[in-house]
Structure formats: C-alpha cells, structure tokens
Structure 1
Amino acid sequence: MNKSILRPTSKDYSDIDPDEENGVISCMIENNQVNIDVKTISPFKCIFGSAGKLQEDHQTAIIVIYGCWLPDRRLREYRYIMDQLFYYIYHKLEKLVTNDYVLIYFHGATPKHRTPELKILRKYYQMINFRLRKNLRAIYVVHPTRWLRAVIALSRPFFSNKFYHKVHYLFTISELEREFPHNPVPIPIIIEHWRTSFVKNFFLRNLYSDLIYDIRESDFFDFVVNISITDWLYSQKYDRQNASIKRSIERSTSQQFGGHGHESAA
C-alpha cells in the first residue's frame, strides 16, 4: 500500500484507544457487534476531534471532522478502510455524546479524491441510530467549495428536511470563532497553511485581474492617443505637401504669364 497516500499526519497516530484490545476495538452498531481493525485506521484516526462542551450550557458536545485526512479514493482497499473508519467514528460518538451535539466539518485543504462519494455518505447516514440523529443540533461546514455545496444541494432528496436545515456554511475562520467564541476549535497546521495560501492566491488573483484590467485600459488609451497623433501627423504632412504643390503651381503660372508680357513689349 502506498505510504504517501496513507500519510499519517497527526500525533494521534501512535495513540492507543482505551477500548482497544489486541489491535481490535469492539463496538455495537445496529445491534450487531463490530470489530474495528485499528491497524487499518491508524493513519486516519486524526480526522476525528473534539472541542469539549459548549460554554453556554456545558452539555452540548462539539465534534470536529477534518476532511483533509480522509482516505484517498485511489487506495485499493478504500471501501474497507472507509467502513472501518466509520465504525471508529460511530464508536467515538457513542462514547462522547450524551445529550445534544454539534458537528464541525473542515473541508479546507481537502482534494476531491479524498471526498467520499454521495452513496457512501448516504449509507453511513442510514446506519446511524435514532438517538444520534435526533441529538444532532447543527452541522457547520467550514471552507465549503462550490462543488461541495452543489453536492449537498443535490443530495437533499436522500436526507430528511430536518437534517438538511441543520447544515450551515462558514466560509472563514472568523465566522467559526464568532459562532463559538468561548470554545477554541483546534485547527491543524495543514489547514492553516491552506488558508494562508488560499487568501494569498485569492489576493493575487484579484490584484492580477485589476492589473490586467488597468493595462488593457491604458493600452486602449495609448492606442487611441497613438491613432490621434498619427492622424494629426499625416494631416500635417498632407497639408505641407498640398501647400508645396500649390506654391509650385502658382510659381509656374506666374512665370508663364510674366514671359508672355516681355515678348509683347519687345
């Protein structure tokens, strides 16, 4: 398996889950016992995080999912890895969520080949029990792309209206901080770097567009000025040529008439 695609990227890579025994975590999903392969999901356990409880009520849990650390769809055992990862997240939710909870999903720095397909998400959503569905207060999608918003909009027929209305978009970290002023949400370095480069590229794109627009305007201005100057120069040239021709005609005419006068006098 390609290690560069797996890319363990968190200090949690070597952490041991308290429920782990002999490389396996046992949990119950839909009244069925499931054994989670810890070795398989170890490079991806860092996608799940927690920001504690809301300071307003000290009961609502804040769950964080980082899309940038999801498995690559190009992996040969992608489906198996995703299933094991879902079981792990489900197990963690059962442990952490006792009342209501909010889910924060970071989509920044997540390429399309790490974004799960819609049918897989629908399958996992249907496997979540009623308690976790009901207690979900809101989903905050941070740094959503147009492509992701389009996918969420197209998936509306497959989810309940209540679930769809719980989805909120936060385009910047500042909006996230205003939404959770008393709960600092951990942001990985990779997302910080992505945010910095995104803002820089966005600024450069706008600056480049403005410069191109200004250059085009100045070129057009220079073009108009050059045409005007060229026309004026040509007109001056033609005026001088016409004046010279006119003087030559007048000179030759006066010489002809002057010559005839001398002959008649003689």
Structure 2
Amino acid sequence: MKDRVFISYRRADTGPTAARLRDALEEHFPGQIFLDIENIAAGQDFVTVIENNLSIAAVLVVVIGRQWLEGSTSGTKLGDANDYVTLELLSAARLNIPLLPVVVDGAAMPHASFLPSGLASVLRSNAIEIRHSSFRRDCEPLTEYLYARLGVAPPTPLERFVEAIGAKLSFGMNRFKFDDRTRGFHAIISVIVALGATLATIDSWLPAASAERELLLLDTYDAVSLHILGVYTGFIGKNSRKHRKLAVTALAVTLTSLLALLTKLTMTPPGQLVF
C-alpha cells in the first residue's frame, strides 16, 4: 500500500527547512514521512533505499529553495545523471507518483524554460509557499492535501481534545496521536462494547425477580457507562479507513440500545427503582 510521503530536497539548499517540515508532518502522519537524513542508516545503499521508499510513496514533496537549480555540494546539478534530486524526480514520474512543489525561504517556482529537458513536464503542479515567519500556518494547505492524498481522515474536534489531554499527561513521553491504526482499535472496541451494552439493555427489560427490584443503581450505572464508552469509541473508530463500516454499525447498535435503555427508565415507576 502506498502511504509514504517522500520529501525531496537539497541539503545545501533547504536542509534545516526540510527537517523542520518533516517534524511538522510527522505530527499528523506518524511513521509515514521519509527524509533521507533521518531514515537512511549508516552502511545502507543510498540509491536502493531511495528507490524502495519511492515505490511505496503516495506523494513526492519537492522542497525548492533559492539554490535548488544550481545543484549540490558534490558538483552535480538538476538534470545530471548522478544528481540525486533528478533521480528522485524521474523515478517519481516513472512510478506515476504525484509531485507537490513547496517553495521556501523566499524562493520562487522555477520557470519551465530553466528546467532541463525531461523535467519541465514533471513539475507542473501549483506550488505551496512556506515562509519561516508563518511556518505553521503555511503548512496547513500542505497538510490538508496530504490528508486527502493518503485517504486519512483529519482529526475531529473530539480527537483533538483527547490529544490535548494526552499531551498534558504525557510527562515527557511521546505524545498520543490518532492515526488509522489507533482508530481501528477503537472500532473493534466499539463492537465489543456495543454487544455488552445491548446485553445490559436486554437485562433491564427482563422481568425482575421481585416487585420492588426493577433496576438497581449499579445496573443503571454500568449500563450507561458501557453506552458512553461505546459512543466514544464508535465516533473515533468511524474515522478508520479500514474499519469505518464496522465502527458505524457498532455506533448505531449502541445508540439504539441506549434509546431502549432510556425508554425503560422512563417507563419504570419511581417506586420500583431502588437507589
């Protein structure tokens, strides 16, 4: 599955900015951002790693600074057979990977007439401009594009609220972030909880053992707690790309069961409730 974001850049041109961009995107897409200086270990073949990561890339983000056309410190420039940026661009074109130019540090998108033959048609996409003074705000259009391209639902207000609480309780550990895997876990939990909530509702409708005991406070508390947990996990799980239908079904069952439980509570005479 192609779910990697590959960042192409020149270290001598935009190295610090590319690293900062990688950190910003990693917050939204943990484990899906590839940057050579971060992801290529010592002793690994550079070209092989580049090719392998491009084969699973959903998009190639091309970071363009003022010196991007002029080349690297090794003496190669755009269009040279041994230029790594050229290799990345041509490989992406061969693999039909969409390219998204990102111009930084006051640079401008190079005119097609300045691009080597074979690359002019590669960089046709509208560029996104990112400035140091408004970095976070300028990254928002890029983040929105990547969410759509990767088929991942952006965080909902509920998820952002939970993430904010998790950030305060992390105590220096890795911050809790919602991704498709986490949402998948919530989807599965919502199904389990939905079954438990349904059983609790059915139990509340069964004839009581005695006239004075129709529903105990503990039974009500447990049943309502199950329904709240089911609604919470269902609303988060429904954003899972793989388990969306499962979570939505579980959420519908949970809400229907909650309605039945509330109906039972309203129908029960106050004198038959033991608190």
Indicate whether the TM-score tops 0.5. no
Q: TM-score, normalised by structure 1?
A: 0.30
Between Structure 1 and Structure 2, the one with more strand by share is: 1
Q: TM-score, normalised by structure 2?
A: 0.29
Between Structure 1 and Structure 2, the one with more helix by share is: 1
